[in-house]
Amino acid sequence: MHSTLIGLGLTSPVLAAPMAGGGSTPALVVAAAKAGGLGFVAAGYQSPAALAGQIGQVRASGVPFGVNVFAPNPVPVDRRRYREYADLLRADADRYGVDVSGVEPIEDDDHWADKIDLLLADPVPVVSFTFGLPAARVVTALRAAGTLVVQTVTSAGEARAAAGLGVDLLVVQACAAGGHSGTFTPDRIPPEIPLPRLLGEVGAAVDLPLIAAGGIATPTAVGTALAAGADAVSVGTVLLRSDESGASAPHRDALADTRRRTVVTRAFTGRPARGLRNEFTDRHSAQAPAGYPALHHLTSPIRKAAVAAGDPERVNLWAGTGYHNAAAEPAARILTGLTRRL
């Protein structure tokens, strides 16, 4: 394993990926560390106070951990297309008494500055960014505070830009990954590049330790990623049904249904993301304009109501291509099982 990861105290190259929206819990982060890897508190969608609370819970257990933050990289939505899309969602919204007709687009930055202030005031071992690059001064300040900085990239070009900022490690995320793509150009659906090829391209472009992510859900896939140049791997979907996951009941149940397939869609949030096909993705994937976070806020009340009603057809069922390997077991067993062939 790379000295940077050994320096954090890691004994396993299998990390638990950050999963905002409930998937990552403090218990999952602690379980990943106890299995010899590393877990991430997912700052996305959380208030700064809630984030501080989760950091406090993980810190109390005395294990190394990371915090993952959405870097602002908004794609302001075209207002006319937003309106048209809201109209197209009316049947889904009406089903739950949600009014989407007069809702203005929200273009917020998920409390970016407050979250960075929090991480500088009370530094954590690792901070990772996705969706885009932070300003160089943020990377410099975090590193000066003793924090290792990790950047998610989806191409060699993004890797070069991240390396230019002086980050310590890269997460190389292939399009097989569950959840949002970390692409810096979210107005385009990312190309389907297999993870080993992407690792080769990034490894040829930059001299940084690489953490592979996207579709890794078996011991063989872990071995393939490491053989292709990764120093460690990061798994998300395969942990979503674990005891420590905070995924909703409809999400867990849908993951157990192996007849579903995954699709990349911006129907839920306006940013490309991979999830299980359902009525919502079938109906709206071709209609949805680019526009994160405006579409995220627009569909959020529908999705929340659908979760409460146990309706998987109107929920963002984020899942990577290896979702059928997600088992309902303790996270530590899943993570150590993935190292079986090493």
Ligand X SMILES: Cc1cc2nc3c(=O)[nH]c(=O)nc-3n(C[C@H](O)[C@H](O)[C@H](O)COP(=O)(O)O)c2cc1C
Q: Where does this chain bind ligand X (CB under 6 A)?
A: 17-21, 23, 42, 44, 68, 130, 152, 173, 176-180, 182, 213-216, 234-238, 318, 320, 322
The H or E element that residue 263 is part of is: strand 262-265
CA–CA separation, 336 vs 339, rounded Å?
5
**Minimum CB separation from ligand X for residue 91, in Å?**
26
Nearer to ligand X, 105 or 132 (CB): 132
Residue 124: exposure state from Cβ atoms within 10 A (0-12, 13-18, ≥19): buried
**Minimum CB separation from ligand X for residue 133, in Å?**
13
* Residue 299 tokens, joined: 């569909």
Half-sphere exposure of 311 (CA within 13 A, CB side): 15
DSSP 318: B
**Minimum CB separation from ligand X for residue 113, in Å?**
18
Half-sphere exposure of 164 (CA within 13 A, CB side): 11
Nearer to ligand X, 21 or 82 (CB): 21
Nearer to ligand X, 25 or 288 (CB): 25
Cβ-based neighbours of 73, under 8 Å, separated by 6 or more: 131, 132, 184, 186
**Minimum CB separation from ligand X for residue 286, in Å?**
23
Nearer to ligand X, 272 or 322 (CB): 322
Nearer to ligand X, 234 or 339 (CB): 234
**How far is CA 205 from its chain centroid?**
24
Nearest residue to 326 (alpha-carbon basis) of 270, 245, 209: 245
**Minimum CB separation from ligand X for residue 129, in Å?**
8
CA dihedral 200→201→203→205, nearest 10 degrees, is 160
Nearer to ligand X, 169 or 216 (CB): 216
CA–CA separation, 14 vs 4, rounded Å?
14
**Minimum CB separation from ligand X for residue 70, in Å?**
7
**Minimum CB separation from ligand X for residue 77, in Å?**
21
Check: CB of residue 222 under 8 Å from CB of residue 341: yes
Nearer to ligand X, 82 or 316 (CB): 316
